[in-house]
Amino acid sequence: MNPKITDFLTQHHLLSLATYHETLQCCSLFYAYDPDTVTFIVASDPKTQHGHALIHSPKVAGTVSVETTTVGKIQGIQFQGEMIQDERGKECYFKAFPYARIMNPTLWSIRIHTIKMTDNTLGFGKKLYWERS
């Protein structure tokens, strides 16, 4: 993976997630990024609308972006992946969010399949791509 993508995902902590089952759902989730498995670890109640959708269709898409009004500073990724309820990333998640441990959250893993990163700090409209092989 391009180190610019890894650095970007490691430096941020909030993603936007889209799911679909009967209706489209979108939510924001805090994440911990595991570069070894190219996975986001998130906490979410399975009773939410997006949690319910994932039971029927684990395919997801989402974004992580920098909030800026300066065109030359625009950075962000679009991703597609598969989300499963999974406790294997709990140490990674609790390292990033130690206060969450007392809430005993349900953890999920988003196994990323593709990433497209726009990084205008490298030049206007510069795109970087990654795909799981």
Q: 75-85 and 59-65 as β-strands: parallel, antiparallel, unpaired?
A: antiparallel
In percent, the amount of the chain with pLDDT more than 90 equals 82
| Structural domain that includes position 63 | 3-131
The total domain count for the chain is 1
Q: What is the pLDDT of residue 56?
A: 87
Q: What is the pLDDT of residue 61?
A: 98
Label residue 111 by pLDDT band (50, 70, 90): very high
Label residue 68 by pLDDT band (50, 70, 90): very high
Q: What is the mean pLDDT of residues 41-61?
A: 90
Q: Supply the CATH number for residue 66's domain.
A: 2.30.110.10
Question: Taking all residues of the chain, what is their mean pLDDT, rounded to a whole number?
Answer: 94
Q: What is the mean pLDDT of residues 90-115?
A: 95
pTM above 0.85, yes or no: yes
Q: What is the pLDDT of residue 54?
A: 85
Q: What is the pLDDT of residue 117?
A: 98
